[in-house]
């Protein structure tokens, strides 16, 4: 059974944070206790869940530099019973510099999460859009990776680079790490290009695909400004329904792996 997953893709703009937020909300709606971890100094997940990153006295930064425990900084997400957040602030960029000089720096997040593992059915880590030390920490703390894939050529190329990084982490820091699957995002079934990219990823890399693909929608752009997920903002929209179905599949895959 897998309890901790990282959502990672070093290419920005592929709906990574939206995927973490939506999976977290959907799993909580389905009755699970869920913790989402914002590992990105831009703090987009923190903002999208209705928090002001500038108002936190302590955050994940303090955990990584050993000034606080995870249990001391996590926040229940308003309006979503069963969902909690380990928030990020811009200070997390300083934590990245701090980690570079630490022995065993790849394992800092894993050690920090260890005391709360049994409190949650699922822990979902939002990795930064890079392959730096914070992302390596996220991959080392996780048991599996979910890759959001925007169905276009540049995002497709990034999958190969990410898989190389995952293999490095597997060899040097976390031998049990595996790819749980790919979530196609911003999908437009009307275009031949999107369908072609999706087929190529499955064929070239042999990665499991979670379906249905998440369709493009302006609702995804509207929701973060309200501090809500699309499941709350537009609960009957195709995007919300897609993430509900994906959350069931991802959680089931975590239980059977």
Q: Tokens representing 222?
A: 């509207």
Indicate the helix (H) or strand (E) that contains 149: strand 144-150
CA distances from 102 to 68, 90, 107, 197, 252 (A): 17, 20, 10, 40, 36
Q: Could you tell me which residues come within 8 angstroms of residue 128 by beta carbon, excluding any fewer than 6 positions away?
A: 39, 40, 41, 42, 134, 135
**Residue range 4-256, CATH number:** 3.40.50.300
pLDDT per residue of the chain (257 residues) written in tens, 0 to 9: 999 999 998 888 889 999 999 999 999 999 999 999 999 999 999 999 999 999 998 999 999 999 999 999 999 999 999 999 999 999 998 887 888 777 788 999 999 999 999 999 999 999 998 888 999 999 999 999 999 988 776 566 678 888 898 999 999 999 999 999 999 998 887 788 777 877 777 787 788 899 999 998 888 888 888 888 999 989 999 999 999 999 999 999 999 86
Burial (Cβ within 10 Å: 0-12, 13-18, ≥19) of residue 33: middle
- Report yes or no: 235 and 217 within 8 Å, Cβ to Cβ: no
Can you give the pTM of this predicted structure? 0.94
- For the chain, the domains span 4-256
């Amino acid at each position: 059974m897998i309890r901790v997953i990282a959502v990672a893709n070093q290419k920005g703009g592929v709906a990574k944070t939206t995927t973490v937020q939506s999976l977290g909300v959907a799993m909580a709606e389905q009755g699970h206790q869920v913790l989402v971890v914002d590992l990105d100094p831009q703090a987009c997940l923190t903002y999208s869940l209705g928090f002001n990153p500038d108002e936190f006295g302590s955050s994940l930064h303090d955990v990584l530099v050993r000034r606080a425990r995870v249990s001391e900084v996590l926040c229940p997400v308003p309006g979503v019973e069963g969902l909690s957040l380990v928030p990020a602030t811009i200070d997390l960029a300083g934590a990245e510099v701090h980690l570079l000089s630490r022995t065993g720096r790849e394992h800092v997040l894993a050690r920090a999460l260890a005391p709360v593992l049994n409190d949650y059915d699922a822990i979902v880590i939002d990795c930064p859009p890079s392959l730096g030390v914070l992302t390596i920490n996220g991959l080392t703390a996780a048991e599996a990776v979910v890759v959001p894939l925007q169905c276009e050529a540049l995002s497709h190329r990034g999958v190969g680079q990410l898989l190389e990084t995952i293999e490095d982490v597997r060899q040097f820091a976390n031998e049990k790490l595996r790819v749980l699957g790919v979530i196609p995002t911003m999908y437009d079934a009307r275009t031949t290009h999107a369908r072609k990219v999706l087929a190529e990823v499955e064929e070239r890399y042999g990665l499991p695909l979670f379906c249905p693909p998440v369709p493009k929608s302006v609702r995804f752009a509207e929701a973060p400004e309200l501090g809500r997920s699309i499941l709350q903002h537009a609960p009957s929209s195709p995007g919300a329904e897609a993430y509900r179905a994906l959350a069931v599949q991802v959680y089931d895959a975590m239980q059977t792996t």
